[in-house]
Chains A and B, each alone.
Chain A
Amino acid sequence: MPEQPTTSRRRASLLIGVLCLVLGFALAVQVRTTSADSGLGAARQEDLVRILDDLSAREDRLRQDIAGQEDIRDELASGGNQAATALEEARLRQEQLAILAGTVEAVGPGIELTVSDPDGAVGPEVLLDAIQELRAAGAEAIQIGEVRIGLSSAVVGTPGSLVIDGSGLSAPYRIVAIGDPPTLETALNIPGGVVNTVSRAGGQARIEQRDEVTVSALRVIEEPEYAQPAQETD
């Protein structure tokens, strides 16, 4: 009779032990599972569908963002390129115009022409002729004495006392021109040309071809008083 409760109590505590063992086991396994698969594996089907929907919507939004940003990037890149190209073009044009107008110094291959005039017989028309011949031969920048030849240059005076653009000039006259040296020399040497005329006037014209000459004199550009740029039609 006393064995009955002892046996049943032992069996009961054994059962309780087994249950606690199972509980501990399940607890540990569940904790492991939860921390291992970040909850998605144990999530319900409707939760998974909702999560998937959220992610799809988010992906769509982000893709739209990407497309928009790429458009903006392309726009900015092409705009930047156009601006840079226009700036470069404008700079080149400004340089060309500055050399033509004589507002900057110029260097390059060219000739140096020295005209001596011992008899004082070389008139303004000789220098004008020289300027025209040089221009016709493609001279890009010309300097006589300390005067840069530009659009409004004028040679006046009488033989022996020449005046160019308002400043007096005395022999020997030194003319520097930038262009193709052989072409320029040929242009001055044509029969009846500058060299010919000078020697008939008792002077001497000496031409030197140089790989590099410097046209250092500058012109001051005056603001046009009457002329205005016509409206561009493009």
Chain B
Amino acid sequence: MIPAFALALGIALGLFLDPTVPLWLQPYLPIAVVAALDSVFGGVRARLDGIFDAKVFVVSFVSNVLVAALIVFLGDKLGVGGQLSTAVVVVLGIRIFGNAAAIRRHVFHA
């Protein structure tokens, strides 16, 4: 309940404040957001599986975001930033799909 409320509050704050993203953060923010979304879906799935652990969630959340940003950063330095970003998004997208499917099975039993 608290996470969902916090998420909604964050979205409202972002829309309301409308801050400018600093230039150095611009390539990493979208990837970080997708990585964090993956963690959130994983967390929801774990919760429904009854194996949710707050520590695991927090660590996976932070590490996911950091690793994703690191990969993009490395890609930019190596000159393959665009391709690596795509790769990260694809992998995270597949994971999100898998988690979403598990969540669906739990919620709808189908």
Contact = CB atoms under 8 A, between A and B. Distances in A.
Does B associate with A? yes
Interface of A: 9, 12-13, 15-30, 32-34, 41-42, 44, 46-47
B9 A21 contact: yes
A22 B10 contact: yes
B33 A20 contact: no
Nearest to A26: B33
Chain A interface, DSSP helix/strand/loop, else mixed: helix
A25 B9 CA distance: 8
B8 interface: yes
B7 interface: yes
B10 A20 contact: yes
Given A19-B61, A30-B29, A25 B10 contact: yes
A13 B5 CA distance: 12
Interface residues of B, number: 38
B107 interface: no
B68 interface: no
Nearest to B43: A16
A44 B82 CA distance: 8
Contacts of A21: 6-7, 9-10, 13
Interface string B1-37: 0111111111111110011110000110110110011
Given A23-B40, A30-B33, A16 B3 contact: yes
A21 B4 CA distance: 9
A180 to B, nearest CB: 90
8 contacts: A12-B58, A19-B61, A24-B9, A27-B10, A27-B14, A29-B18, A30-B29, A32-B18
B6 A24 contact: yes
B57 interface: yes
A16 B26 contact: no
Contacts of A47: 82
Contacts of B33: 23, 26-27, 30
A44 B73 CA distance: 12
5 tightest Cβ-Cβ pairs between the two chains A and B: A24-B10, A28-B14, A12-B54, A17-B6, A25-B10
Given A25-B10, A32-B15, A32-B18, A20 B82 contact: no
B81 interface: yes
The interface centre, meaning the residue of A12, A13, A26, A33 with most chain B CB atoms within 10 A of its CB, is: A26
A41 B29 CA distance: 13
